[in-house]
Amino acid sequence: MTELERKQDRTPVPKEWAYAPAPESRDVVTLDDRYGHYVGGKWLEPSETYTTISPATEEPLAEVGQATPEEVEAAVSAARDAFENGWSGIPAAERAKYLFRIARILQERAREFAVLESLNGGKPIKESRDVDLPLAAAHFFYYAGWADKLEYAFPNRRPQPVGVAGQIIPWNFPLLMLSWKIAPALAAGNTVVLKPAETTPLSALLFADVLRQAELPPGVVNIVTGDGRTGAALVKSEGVDKIAFTGSTDVGKAIQRELAGTGKKLTLELGGKAANIIFDDAALDQAVEGIINGIYFNQGHVCCAGSRLLVQESIYEPVVEKLKRRLTTLRVGDPLDKNTDVGAINSKEQLERIRELVESGEQEGAEIYQPPCRLPEKGYWFAPTVFTNVAQSYRIAQEEIFGPVLSILTFRTPEEAVEKANNTPYGLSAGVWTEKGSRILWMAERLRAGVVWANTFNRFDPSSPFGGYKESGFGREGGRHGLEPYMQFDGSQPSGG
């Protein structure tokens, strides 16, 4: 026996090949017991509060403010003051410096923010660490670069800021959506009142500390927390010149009605029901990874999620088989464990919405598959789910589920794929998997979706504009396009959307 063989002989063989726990430390985050609203560079004592929790454990994390219309007004007037008395007048290169500082501080504090994001929102640390944080910093870096080049971005149009921007964001990518909204607004010379979603206020509140570190002048960014009532007060406020909203289509429509005729600018980024289309010449294993990433990334709480899988009939069986096999390897559980693939559902309300739609799918006749997995007892959880035998008319093929639930349909020809993909009130994103470049172009031309991914899915870059058609909203975020809603041009008046 060689030395090596003898050594191997003595090495104990594990009884079970399971991942050992790999918990990220919570110690990098220090939470206050209670948070106010960040107004004019100071903390305003809130008149009402509620408790924000960890959706993975239902553990209370902190008390945060539920801003009243008066408190919203205080934030709006702080933003107005800052706009008129300084921010819009300082040299653009100075504005850029602040944005660069914010970007660098986010990088420096990335671990702290990633842990907080996973704690308050339930998303796997792997994703908040590798996706949310790098992209949030990238957005600030990217728009920092534009701040002193607006004249070149929009030649001969004399771009001017709009004024005070009211920004209402959702809970699926709290810090990233904050960055998508704040970075272009500041680059263009506006000031901001931001309202994070009620279930995930903590990263926005920690961001106020980044603003302090960056020495951003008081009032340039104000943060008020609270639920839809706070959002509605911000929309109604007369001191606001522009509203940017990301969230549900129903609330988006209500905001549009509210703003009609007011002259306030509006951009809406609403839901989606994206088709992820797999042709029979696609690299199947790669496509299966793309399907997994398309729908189980961030528990499916993604507006552009590939929630409708369209598979060419000739490869239906191998795709479904590979997909089910891959599903059994997804690790569901503690968001702060570095091995976790699928974390907690963001809230009880969202879990109920997912359950209700999944039940409707079963009742309408679709066949459900969930891999065997043990879900934690406390907290809000939903197993990764696949539906086969889905008809186009079923609710699970029409409505946004916003959870880890995939509906599979089939098609025979490219024409049929386009028709089925476009048969939805939404139009945010789509995916095409094929070896043929010509087919990618042919499909991309016909798909009514703001983003079409080819042989990939859920890829984001600050330089690439993002936004929808139809009920997915209007206006673009990201890229040079993302600056436009935050500016007015020579001779033009602000216009509603």
Q: Would you count residue 247 as binding ligand NAI (CB under 6 A)? A: yes
State yes or no: is 304 an active-site residue.
Answer: no
Distance in Å, CB of 200 to ligand NAI, minimum: 9
Contact map string, positions 344 to 373, toward ligand NAI, x by CB under 6 A:
------x--x--------------------
In the complex, the smallest distance separating the C-beta of residue 221 from ligand NAI, rounded to whole angstroms, is: 17
Q: Interface with ligand NAI includes 235 (CB under 6 A)? A: yes
Q: Whose CA is closest to 382, among 390, 373, 395?
A: 373
DSSP 342: B
Give the whole-angstrom CA distance, residue 350 versus residue 380: 9
Among 81, 148, 227, 280, binds ligand NAI (CB under 6 A): 227
Q: Mark 288-307 with x for binding to ligand NAI (rule: CB under 6 A) and - for no binding.
A: ---------------x----
Rule CB under 6 A: choose which of 44, 82, 211, 251 binds ligand NAI. Answer: 251
CB of 255 to ligand NAI, least distance (A): 6
What's the rounded Cα separation, in Å, for the pair 324 and 321? 5
Nearest CA among 391, 368, 383 for reference residue 320: 368
Among the listed ranges 45-53, 168-176, 215-223, 476-484, the one in contact with ligand NAI (CB under 6 A) is 168-176
Q: How far is the CB of 434 from ligand NAI (least distance, A)?
A: 28
Nearer to ligand NAI, 72 or 323 (CB): 72
Structure tokens at 369: 């598959």
Residue 218 phi, psi (nearest 5): -60, 140
Active site residue 303: yes
Sequence-distant (6+) residues with CB within 8 A of 337 are 21, 22, 23, 24, 124, 125, 331
Query: Listing from the earlier edge strand, what are the strands of the sheet with 242-246?
Result: 42-44, 37-39, 221-223, 191-195, 164-168, 242-246, 265-269, 473-474
Segments in 188-333 forming alpha helices (H): 202-213, 228-236, 249-259, 284-296, 316-327
190/299 with CB nearer ligand NAI: 299
Site for ligand NAI, residues 190 to 219, rule: CB under 6 A: 195, 197-198
Helix 174-187 and helix 110-121: axis angle, to 10°? 130
The one catalytic residue among 112, 117, 303, 484: 303
Q: Which residues bind ligand NAI (CB under 6 A)?
A: 168-170, 172, 195, 197-198, 227-228, 231-232, 235, 246-248, 251, 254-255, 269-271, 303, 350, 353, 400, 402
